[in-house]
Structure 1
Amino acid sequence: MTERAGTPARPDDLVDIDALLGAYDDRVPDLDDPAQRVVFGTSGHRGSSLDGAFTDTHIAAITQAIVEYRSEQGTRGPIFVGADTHALSAPAQRTALEVLAANGVTALVDAHNDWVPTPALSHAILRANRDAPTDAQRDGIVITPSHNPPRDGGFKYNPPHGGPADSDATSWIARRANELIAGGNRDVQRQVAVDAQPYDFREHYVADLGDILDLDAVRASGLRIGADPLGGAAVNYWALIAERYGLDLTVVNPTVDPRWGFMTLDWDGKIRMDPSSRHAMASVLAHRHDYDLLTGNDADADRHGIVTPDGGLMNPNHYLAVAIEYLYTHRPGWRADAAIGKTLVSSTMIDRVADGLGRRLWEVPVGFKWFVPDLLDGSVAFGGEESAGASFVRKDGTVWTTDKDGILLALLASEITAVTGQTPSQIYADLTDRYGDPAYERVDAPATAAQKTALGSLQGDAITAEELAGDPITATLSEAPGNGAAIGGLKVSTHRAWFAARPSGTEDVYKIYAESFGGPEHLAQVQREAKAIVDAALGGS
């Protein structure tokens, strides 16, 4: 934690945009450096041109690989292409469109030359494919590094199901892209002339919100709502939502600046558009008493932050529990057997809420991609991650998006307050009265590359400890109970606490998520013993 966390950015904190864009055009990646290869994480390929990790060469190769992959999969329709407000997003979109055009793939871009939030692109894919024949299915490219710092770029592929591509697809695309780069991109087709077609992402997305939310109740309540897009792609969406539905909604800060000079610094001194961080949201929190409800989104609006006058910035886990409690008691059109989806590092409070609702819990590994098939068919009506990402189905139980939707979850907070007369913070307090008050935290521990590899392949039976923080261990998991997929780490549970350990994909650390219903001191004990248990399992790795 830096002492400057939560303080305004200074000029020397800001990225040099000219240098960033120059490196994008001019730098050629060195594939002998693993950090400069194409690597798809849970949310696409990310990196900075300044590090040789996100350049014109990368994006041309990735786009060519996507063209070849979609052809192999039989995807013949046009492809939606949208970008957020990061400085590298615009040139990356230009590169992608040139490659798509040369390959004869029709691209659909925003009709207003506007930025495109991730959920709006997912919504567009699903809307287009609803009645389309198999040979005319559409897919999409989202150009965003999400909440990452201004120096970064990101590139993500969403297949015709509308959600993030699965590991089979991303592995194929990354492998092919690196082959193309190794060959000097000689097999990449490209042309300067681009004939992209317009698509009104904003209009279609905003017009459909009435099918998933009770915005009439919000309007009738007279709630004073503040929405801060944090300089991201949702800025013009919020303005249209206010106008279309007659809401007393103010776009708190409509500024778009690729340096994000108006932001406050995150915990580590970096500019990061994370709406779940009290440090990054410090300037938003200064307005908490000016509105009945205040929300924030990250740069591509797939994450949400909820601020109430009585509770401040809500912990994402707390809000997920509130959203689930409310939705499953206020959506009579949902399937009676629709499950509640959560990632295995999300709060056990969700488990207790699910049990109280009499609903099946579906627990999956980290990554929103795991929710896609079940959101599509309505067997899971809500899917949420501890990192402030979630989506749910429409009032009639049909799919809305298969990617995270921060705009939707932010607006839901207003519906909850309008319908119940309570803020989400107040409802969470009621939940703790019923189910207990858990303490939750994520910390990092150092690990070598070998140790991270070992941790990612650990099996539950590698844990020899029988107790955790004074309680008998009841489960040691290396696979998610919901779908049996590998965790890429492990989770250890007792009757009142748990921890999960996963290797970081970008740093020499592993992440320890932990929660205890025994209070903060017991949580600290769980964290200490978790590190010892993991270190013992890793042994001499």
Structure 2
Amino acid sequence: MASAPLPLAAIPIAFGTDGWRGILGVDITMERLLPVAAAAAQELAHSAPTSLTSREVIIGYDRRFLAPELAQAICSAVRGCGLTPLLCDTPTPTPASSWAVVQRQALGALVITASHNPPEWLGLKIKGPFGGSVEGDFTGRVETRLAAGGLTVPIPGEVGQFDAMGAYVAGLQAKVDTAALAEGLDRLGLTVIVDPMHGSAAGVLPALLGEGATNSGAISEIRGRRDPLFGGNPPEPLAAYLGELIGAVQASTAAGRPAMGIVFDGDGDRIAAVDERGRFCSTQLLMPLFIDHLARARQLPGSVIKTVSGSDLMQLVAEDLGRQVLEKPVGFKYIAAEMLSSEVLVGGEESGGVGFGMHLPERDAPFAALLLIEALVEGGVPLGERIDALQQRCGGAAAYDRLDLRLANMEARRRLEAKLAEAPPSAVAGCPVLEVVTTDGVKLRLGPSHWLMLRFSGTEPLLRLYCEAPTVARVNEVLIWARELAEAV
């Protein structure tokens, strides 16, 4: 996959839907990163609850180029704020840093990662003392501190380290009976093939299920070695980047042992799956399964939180089980805020982020993977059959896809934004628009499980086109129509 041309100048420092990200060596440099880390650390200390006495800030990082070195460097910025940096001793999934914050009662975490972005990107995520992403008000105050200047001088020195991965694995094993999951997979004759996309969640799921599961063939892993280029593609759980996983699942099933694939993004906070037939299953299909399993089998309390780009099937399954559904803008921080203020069963977004009220107010892909396996073991049928049964029961059978368009320049973006705001389309690909929703971007409702949404990315110079429709052919037709609309502006 060819990368886009590098920009000639850095873009202003600004936080998107989850952190500050940019191109390494252009936007993300040592000169820019240290003040951002200092401002974030100062705000963590300033905003901490009065009951929190810790001065500790967890420092995490992923497997990207220079991520370990930059994580080490920002420790000096944190120390310069009079705080104590504590560095993860290996690259770890971002939710492992969030877990460490809660378990150690730290002020928060600073994580060097660009999550699912292309290989040339890097960035910084900020986690609050509650173990989740900070809200927009918090990052706004960080930006204010940066603009004011006068930040502290970094203080080099030895940095304390700890086994974040070991603590995280032990914590998840205490929440889910992983031995029973391994036995259940053997009983079903089902193999789980894990694809961490060369990212920092490599090895986590095999470690959770144990050596016995690996030896029995219940679990295996591909693309687990570190590769900062991620095989030439963004480490994002999309079907276009999962040819090896889909092939491995189909080969195992054809050989007589049904398989499913589980994929994590570059920093382990997003999940997707591949069913036994080789069908890609995003969280548009997995979220309804989580809702059904947690509400029906586990009988856990709470409402369901979905983003505006989420499948209608999420709402149909939740309503079938008598659960309230709340719809939020895109960005897990909106889901996390709801999880902190009310009782939530599960919250998720179409891009792969899922959080659970029984766990952290945070996207946690390895934990989601455990619950996915638990749902299949409990139901006794493979993933594809389970999803098909849910769709038939709730009447939400539909296809979904997303198309990302890189815009020519910011002026093209401004023109398109203005056009959509002033006069949204009254029809889409021959179908009249029944409702226009502007919670986040522009969502054009065409019918039950039939809609188009246009939204500009919060972290990349992209226009995202989302579509759910009764058939794959109709999804493709609508996305082509939307692309032509965008390119004509």
Shorter-chain TM-score range: 0.7 to 0.9
Q: 1:312 to 1:442 in 2, by over 3 A?
A: closer
1:314 pairs with one of 265, 281, 299 = 281
Letter of the structure 1 residue corresponding to residue 463 of structure 2: Y
Aligned partners of 1:315 and 1:233: how far apart in 2? 20
- Amino acid aligned to 1:205: Y
Q: Which moved more, 1:500-509 or 1:373-382?
A: 500-509
Q: Which residue number corresponds to residue 71 of structure 2?
A: 93
1:286 is paired with a residue whose SS is: helix
* In structure 1, distance between residues paired with 2:419 and 2:425: 15
Matches of 2:114 and 2:312, distance apart in 1: 29
Q: 1:54 to 1:328 in 2, by over 3 A?
A: same
Residue 397 of structure 2 is matched in structure 1 by 437
Contact 1:469–1:522 (CA under 8 A) maintained in structure 2: no
What is aligned with 1:37? 12
> Aligned to 1:82, what secondary structure does the other structure show?
strand
Give the counterpart of 2:354 among 376, 390, 395.
Answer: 390
What SS class does the counterpart of residue 510 from structure 1 fall into? Answer: strand
Instruction: Return the match for 1:495 from 444, 447, 450.
Output: 447
Once the two structures are superposed, residues 36-78 of structure 1 have per-residue CA deviations (whole angstroms, 9 ceiling, x without a partner) of: 432211121112234x111111211111111332233246521
Q: Measured at CA, do residues 381 and 457 of structure 1 come closer, stay the same or move farther in structure 2, by a change above 3 Å? A: farther
2:466 aligned partner: 513
Per-residue CA distance 1:128-160 (angstroms, 9 max, x = gap) = 34xxxxxxx521111110122332212111112
What residue is the counterpart of 2:243 in the other structure? 282
C-alpha contact (below 8 Å) 1:161/1:402 kept by paired residues? yes
In structure 2, what is the Cα distance between the partners aligned to 1:201 and 1:421? Answer: 34
Q: Kindly tell me: are residues 326 and 311 of structure 1, through their superposed partners in 2, closer, same or farther at Cα, counting changes over 3 Å?
A: farther
TM-score under structure 1 length normalisation: 0.77
Flag the 1:469–1:257 CA change in 2: closer, same or farther, 3 A. closer
2:366 matches 1:413 = no
Give, as a single letter, the amino acid of the residue that structure 2 aligns with 1:144: T
- Contact 1:217–1:419 (CA under 8 A) maintained in structure 2: no
Question: Which amino acid is 1:356 matched to?
Answer: D
Q: Report if the CA contact (8 A) 1:60-1:188 is conserved.
A: no
Q: For residues 273 and 532 of structure 1, do their structure 2 counterparts lie closer, same or farther at Cα, with a shift above 3 Å needed?
A: closer
Q: What amino acid maps onto 1:284 in structure 2?
A: L
From 61, 66, 71, the equivalent of 1:83 is 61
Q: Residues 194, 534 of structure 1: CA spacing in aligned structure 2 closer, same or farther, 3 A cutoff?
A: same
Contact 1:142 1:157 in 2 (8 A): yes
Residues 15-34 of structure 1: pairs in structure 2 closer than 5 A: 33=9
Instruction: Establish whether residue 213 from structure 1 lines up as the match of residue 172 from structure 2.
Output: no
Match of 2:164 among 201, 205, 209: 201
TM-superposed deviation, 1:346: 1.4
Q: Give the partner amino acid of 1:95.
A: A
Quote the Cα distance in structure 1 between the aligned partners of 2:461 and 2:156. 41
| SS of the residue 1:95 aligns to | helix
Residue 252 (1) aligns with residue 207 (2): no
Task: Give the residue type in structure 2 aligned to 1:500.
Answer: M
Q: State how far apart, in whole Å, the 2-side matches of 1:529 and 1:280 are.
A: 24
Between the aligned partners of 2:246 and 2:412, the Cα distance in structure 1 is 39
Residue in structure 2 matching 1:301, options 247, 268, 290? 268
1:174 to 140, 143, 149: 143
Root-mean-square deviation (CA, aligned residues, Å) is: 3.2
The share of aligned pairs that are identical, in percent, is 25
Moved more, 201-210 or 415-424: 201-210
Does the 8 Å CA contact 1:416/1:423 hold for their aligned counterparts? no
Does the CA contact (< 8 Å) of 2:399 and 2:475 recur in 1?
yes
**Among residues 154, 164, 173, which one is paired with 2:133 in the alignment?**
164
Distance in 1 between the 2:457 and 2:341 partners? 32
Equivalent residue, structure 2, for 1:232: 199
Shift of residue 530, structure 1, vs aligned partner: 5.1
State whether structure 2 residue 413 is matched by structure 1 residue 452.
Answer: yes
Quote the offset at 1:468 in angstroms: 4.5
Q: Give distance in 1, aligned partners of 2:341 and 2:391.
A: 32
* Residue 376 (1) aligns with residue 335 (2): no
5+ residue gaps, structure 1 = 6-12, 15-19, 21-28, 130-136, 181-185, 264-269, 395-399, 480-486
The residue type equivalent to 1:173 in the other structure is: V
Aligned counterpart, 2:81: 103
Query: Structure 1 counterpart of 2:32, which letter?
Result: H
Q: How does 1:115-126 map to 2 (within 5 A)?
A: 115-126=91-102
Conserved 8 A contact 2:182-2:209: no
In the alignment, the residues of structure 2 paired with residue 471 and residue 259 of structure 1 have an alpha-carbon distance, to the nearest angstrom, of: 42
1:53 aligns with 2:21: no
- Structure 1 residues 177 and 494 mapped into 2: Cα distance closer, same or farther (>3 Å)? same
Amino acid at match of 1:492: L
Shift of 1:91: 1.9
Distance change (3 Å), C-alpha of 1:56 and 1:431:
same
Distance in structure 1 (CA, Å) of the matches to 2:14 and 2:367: 30
Change over 3 Å in CA distance of 1:44–1:526 after alignment to 2: same
> What amino acid does structure 2 have at the position aligned with 1:249?
I
Q: Write out per-residue CA displacement over residues 325-359 of structure 1, whole angstroms, 9 at most, x where no aligned residue.
A: 22221222x22xx1111111111121221222221
Distance 1:54 1:465 in 2: 39
Residues 61 and 177 in structure 1, CA contact (< 8 A), matched pair in contact too = yes
SS of equivalent to 2:438: strand
Any idea what SS the aligned residue of 1:302 has?
coil
Which of 132, 140, 145 does residue 109 from structure 2 map onto? 140
Q: Distance in 2 between matches of 1:358 and 1:162?
A: 29
Structure 2 contact 199–226 (Cα < 8 Å) conserved: yes
Change (3 A) 1:430 1:152: same
Instruction: Supply the AA of the counterpart residue of 2:180.
Output: A
Partner of residue 255, structure 2: none
Q: Check 1:287–1:535 CA distance in 2 against 1; reply closer, same or farther (3 A cut).
A: closer
1:291-326 CA deviation, whole Å, 9 max, x = no partner? 633322122111123123324432331122222222
CA distance in 2, matches of 1:417, 1:298: 22
Distance 1:231 1:403 in 2: 22
Query: Which stretch shifts more, 497-506 or 424-433?
Result: 497-506
**505-514 or 409-418: bigger deviation:** 505-514
Which letter does structure 2 place at the counterpart of 1:103? C
Deviations 1:414-439 (A, max 9, x none): 21221111122111112332314212
Partner of 1:367: 331
1:250 is displaced (CA, Å) by 2.9
Equivalent residue number for residue 271 of structure 1: 233
Tell me which amino acid in the other structure corresponds to 2:195: D
Secondary structure in structure 2 of the residue aligned to 1:40: coil
1:272 alignment partner, SS class: coil
